[in-house]
């Protein structure tokens, strides 16, 4: 134990030095002619990105396994994935075609809107009840009424292909990791990295390997959506009761029987929740990946943003929201559905046991044949399509004309009092001092291991020449995290203390969480145009949810005895909050902030679309220039920032929990 008084003094001193350095470091370094201390000189940069780019070039052009070129292998995989995709897309959107391009003739029309809507409603009814059936049915009806059907079906087709591949791949990897602990130890850091590197960064090599178009988007989606499935699988298998495993052995199961007849079925409930995760992440990624040629709703939004077509962007954005809500509710209901109840009439005929399937088949046949005569049964007629585009346009116009000053005032307030000072602070700090402080902080919170990790990762960011851009990223995310916490934590606490508020907040948070990150950009850009403030607001909106959720969870999970003890001691409600609830919920709140940082960093790349100058922009530029090395290095830099933040905060949360005796101290 260090003496608290002395160490506190030291830390206060260090903070003061940091502030002073940030303020005057630039001028001092200029007068002393040591400018390199602020701006890392470009001739010291190790050209890692060029090496990566060259490596990629070699891989694409020269690498071969035996006599087969590497690129041919990836392109055949690409072809394999494309076939089922084309089939599903054909069913949902364009119909089954013969030939390509203009010469294509339709052999079979796509499923009519009536069939898809009744099919999805039937699925809702099967999964839960009539309420869910109506909800998902009306979501899909919305898509056709408001003219988003075709794009939405393309998006849906991508999800339908990506999900089984991601889920099965994740399941197999997870099973392997469960059986071979050594593989598990290898896999975990890879998964950590995969989840923190922004997707754009690995989009470029994927484009090279799999070609421009829908398949690359699918591959990126699968890579992005797989890690949580892997984690959930290993966790679920480990949580199978040991007695069930013992039973499997005693029944004389072989290895394979053990896996497929005992472990996987016993863990199926948790595995289904993993599949739900895969679905939501796939949807998120499919939207983003439509930028590289998958088409669909994401592409519509992007196109509208580029045209500054506010109404169009909003409509497509809402369509994404609607689709996301429908898919999420449906997959959650299926995951929670308990099929394990006995049926009274085992021997009823197939027709009687499957009323929904029968109805859908009847509708399918009826609409197919009558649809040849009455085309509106086949495709929703354009004349019936409603559009809300003008309403949105007018609203934004109205807001911008009548409330421009208010919006501008808010923007300027945040810029002057939060964003600019923070930016000046981070850019003004000499990098040797920043790295030293990171190491000191790591040592203080997590011992020498964390100090070493912080040091190594920050030096890596430095020597690849990413330091300035990394600091802009840190400043932007930092500002967003401060605002998110300032808004989110009080809301979370309020929601925990007041049941009514809690219910409303719960629904809002659940919905916000299902929305693809892309959606958040749309309204903000409309109101604040482009720039750092816009980016910050978008990040705040996206990253708010964990701050609220964890704060409320932390407050709610405090043992009731402790609250009662407080009341019996005569605490006022205010004292109860400040003296008991907040300190005890601190570890949870810290974890919430940690999650907020992670989400903020993952949103950074997306906000590159509104003109930031951080690592996200670097990644985005690399994508448009197809520069593998540049994208990967910038992506890794973001991942390193994420890892430093995550390890440091997790360690301090653990620290607090140990002090409160909620977790055993190691040793």
Partner 1 sequence: MRRAVFNLDEEAQIVSTSGCENKQMTNAPVKPLPKISCKNIWKLYGAKASSLLDNGKKPDLETLRKSGVIGAVRDVNIDIMEGEIFVIMGLSGSGKSTLVRCLSRLVEPTAGEMQFDGIDLLKASSSEMIEIRRRKMGMVFQQFALLPHLSVLQNVAFPLDIQGVSKKNAIDRALDVIELVGLKGRENYYPRELSGGQQQRVGIARSLAVEPELWFLDEPFSALDPLIRREMQDEFLRLQQLLQKTIVFITHDFDEALRLADRIAIMKDGEIIQVATPENLLLNPATDYVAEFTRHVPRDKVLTVGSIMSQMTHASGNPVRNNARIADIARSVLTANHPLPVIDENCKIVGSIGKNAVLDVLTTNGDMR
Binding positions for partner 1, rule: CB under 8 A: 241, 243-244, 246-247, 249-254, 257, 261-262, 265-266, 268, 338, 340-343, 346
607, containing H or E segment: helix 582-607
Q: How far is the CB of 329 from partner 1 (least distance, A)?
A: 24
Q: How far is the CB of 130 from partner 1 (least distance, A)?
A: 24
Contact between 313 and 305 under an 8 Å Cβ cutoff? The reply is yes
Contact between 320 and 272 under an 8 Å Cβ cutoff? The reply is no
In the bound state with partner 1, the residue whose beta carbon lies nearer, of 256 and 500, is 256
The closest alpha carbon to 276, from 349, 170, 405, 392, belongs to 170
What distance in Å separates the CA atoms of residue 593 and residue 488, rounded to the nearest whole number? 10
Q: How far is the CB of 337 from partner 1 (least distance, A)?
A: 13
In the bound state with partner 1, the residue whose beta carbon lies nearer, of 60 and 253, is 253
Q: How far is the CB of 665 from partner 1 (least distance, A)?
A: 19
Backbone φ and ψ for 111, nearest 5 degrees, come out as: -60, 135
In the bound state with partner 1, the residue whose beta carbon lies nearer, of 156 and 171, is 171
In the bound state with partner 1, the residue whose beta carbon lies nearer, of 4 and 252, is 252
In the bound state with partner 1, the residue whose beta carbon lies nearer, of 265 and 447, is 265
| 3-state DSSP assignment of residue 540 | helix
The closest alpha carbon to 322, from 153, 476, 143, 487, belongs to 143
Contact between 538 and 513 under an 8 Å Cβ cutoff? The reply is no
In the bound state with partner 1, the residue whose beta carbon lies nearer, of 122 and 262, is 262
Which one-letter DSSP state was computed for residue 259? I
Distances (CA, A) of 155 to 13, 47, 162, 296, 482: 55, 39, 11, 5, 35
Q: How far is the CB of 663 from partner 1 (least distance, A)?
A: 23
What distance in Å separates the CA atoms of residue 128 and residue 418, rounded to the nearest whole number? 48
Q: How far is the CB of 275 from partner 1 (least distance, A)?
A: 16
In the bound state with partner 1, the residue whose beta carbon lies nearer, of 272 and 302, is 272
Q: How far is the CB of 264 from partner 1 (least distance, A)?
A: 10
What is the DSSP code string of 603-655? HHHHHGGG---SHHHHHHHHHHHT-HHHHHHHHHHHHHHHHHHHHHHHHHHHH
| Residue 538 in tokens | 């978008």
In the bound state with partner 1, the residue whose beta carbon lies nearer, of 249 and 358, is 249
Q: How far is the CB of 265 from partner 1 (least distance, A)?
A: 5
Q: Which long-range contacts (CB under 8 A, 24 or more apart) does 14-20 make?
A: 14/437, 14/440, 17/433, 18/429, 18/433, 18/437, 19/425
Tell me which residue has tokens 């909106």.
Answer: 541
Q: How far is the CB of 218 from partner 1 (least distance, A)?
A: 31
In the bound state with partner 1, the residue whose beta carbon lies nearer, of 347 and 382, is 347
Distances (CA, A) of 181 to 178, 232, 235, 539: 6, 15, 13, 37
In the bound state with partner 1, the residue whose beta carbon lies nearer, of 143 and 272, is 272
What distance in Å separates the CA atoms of residue 424 and residue 22, rounded to the nearest whole number? 8
Q: How far is the CB of 123 from partner 1 (least distance, A)?
A: 21
Distances (CA, A) of 567 to 365, 560, 583: 68, 11, 16
In the bound state with partner 1, the residue whose beta carbon lies nearer, of 343 and 559, is 343
Q: For 523-539, b where at least 16 C-beta lie within 10 A, e where not — what string?
A: bbbbbbeeebbbbbbbb
What distance in Å separates the CA atoms of residue 383 and residue 273, rounded to the nearest whole number? 41
Q: How far is the CB of 267 from partner 1 (least distance, A)?
A: 10
What distance in Å separates the CA atoms of residue 85 and residue 286, rounded to the nearest whole number? 13
97, containing H or E segment: strand 96-98
Q: How far is the CB of 243 from partner 1 (least distance, A)?
A: 4
The closest alpha carbon to 472, from 565, 290, 274, 607, belongs to 607
Residue 318 burial (CB count, 10 A):
19
The closest alpha carbon to 605, from 616, 613, 594, 597, belongs to 616
In the bound state with partner 1, the residue whose beta carbon lies nearer, of 250 and 664, is 250
Q: How far is the CB of 344 from partner 1 (least distance, A)?
A: 9
In the bound state with partner 1, the residue whose beta carbon lies nearer, of 102 and 343, is 343
């Amino acid at each position: 134990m260090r003496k608290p008084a002395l160490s506190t003094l030291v830390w206060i001193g260090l903070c003061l030095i940091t502030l002073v350095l940030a303020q005057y470091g630039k001028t001092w370094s200029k007068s002393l002619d040591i400018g390199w201390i602020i701006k890392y000189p470009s001739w010291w940069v190790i050209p890692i990105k060029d090496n990566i780019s060259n490596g990629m070039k070699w891989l694409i052009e020269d690498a071969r396994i035996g006599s087969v070129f590497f690129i041919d292998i990836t392109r055949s995989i690409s072809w394999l994935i494309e076939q089922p995709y084309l089939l599903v897309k054909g069913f949902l959107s364009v119909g089954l075609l013969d030939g390509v391009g203009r010469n294509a003739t339709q052999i079979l029309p796509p499923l009519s809107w009536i069939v898809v809507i009744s099919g999805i409603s039937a699925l809702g009814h099967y999964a839960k009840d009539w309420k869910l059936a109506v909800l998902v049915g009306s979501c899909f009806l919305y898509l056709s009424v408001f003219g988003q059907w075709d794009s939405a079906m393309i998006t849906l087709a991508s999800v339908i292909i990506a999900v089984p591949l991601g889920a099965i791949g994740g399941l197999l990897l997870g099973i392997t990791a469960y059986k071979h602990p050594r593989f598990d130890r290898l896999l975990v850091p890879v998964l950590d990295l995969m989840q923190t590197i922004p997707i754009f960064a690995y989009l470029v090599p994927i484009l090279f390997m799999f070609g421009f178009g829908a398949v690359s988007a699918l591959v990126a989606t699968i890579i992005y959506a797989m890690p949580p499935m892997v984690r959930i699988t290993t966790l679920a298998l480990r949580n199978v009761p040991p007695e069930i495993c013992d039973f499997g052995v005693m029944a004389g199961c072989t290895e394979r029987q053990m896996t497929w007849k005992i472990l996987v079925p016993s863990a199926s409930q948790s595995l289904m929740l993993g599949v739900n995760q895969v679905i939501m992440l796939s949807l998120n990624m499919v939207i983003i990946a439509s930028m590289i040629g998958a088409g669909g709703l994401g592409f519509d939004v992007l196109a509208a943003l580029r045209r500054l077509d506010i109404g169009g962007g909003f409509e497509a954005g809402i369509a994404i929201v609607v689709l996301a809500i429908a898919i999420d509710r449906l997959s959650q209901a299926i995951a929670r559905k308990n099929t394990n109840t006995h049926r009274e009439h085992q021997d009823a005929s197939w027709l009687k046991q499957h009323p929904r399937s029968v109805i859908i088949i009847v509708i399918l046949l009826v609409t197919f044949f009558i649809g040849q005569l009455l085309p509106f049964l086949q495709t929703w007629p354009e004349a019936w399509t409603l559009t809300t585009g003008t309403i949105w346009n007018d609203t934004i116009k109205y807001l911008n004309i009548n409330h421009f000053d208010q919006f501008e005032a808010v923007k300027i307030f945040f810029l002057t009092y939060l964003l600019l000072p923070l930016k000046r602070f981070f850019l003004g700090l000499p990098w040797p001092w920043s790295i030293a402080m990171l190491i000191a902080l790591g040592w203080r919170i997590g011992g020498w291991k964390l100090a070493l990790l912080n040091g190594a990762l920050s030096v890596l960011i430095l020597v690849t020449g990413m330091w300035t851009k990394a600091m802009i990223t840190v400043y932007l995310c930092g500002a967003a995290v401060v605002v998110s916490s300032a808004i989110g934590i009080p809301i979370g606490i309020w929601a925990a203390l007041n049941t009514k508020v809690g219910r409303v907040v719960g629904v809002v948070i659940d919905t916000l969480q299902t929305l693809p990150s892309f959606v958040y950009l749309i309204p903000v850009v409309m109101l604040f145009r482009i720039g750092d403030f816009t980016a910050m607001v978008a990040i705040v909106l996206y990253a708010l949810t964990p701050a609220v959720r964890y704060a409320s969870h932390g407050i709610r999970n405090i043992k009731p005895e402790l609250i009662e003890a407080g009341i019996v001691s005569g605490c006022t409600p205010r004292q109860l909050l400040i003296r008991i609830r907040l300190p005890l919920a601190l570890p949870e709140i810290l974890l919430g902030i940690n999650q907020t940082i992670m989400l903020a960093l993952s949103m950074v790349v997306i906000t590159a679309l509104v003109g930031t100058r951080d690592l996200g922009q670097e990644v985005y530029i690399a994508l448009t220039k197809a520069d593998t090395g540049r994208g990967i290095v910038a992506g890794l830099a973001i991942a390193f920032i994420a890892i430093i933040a995550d390890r440091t905060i997790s360690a301090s949360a653990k620290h607090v929990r140990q002090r409160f005796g909620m977790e055993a101290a190691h040793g």
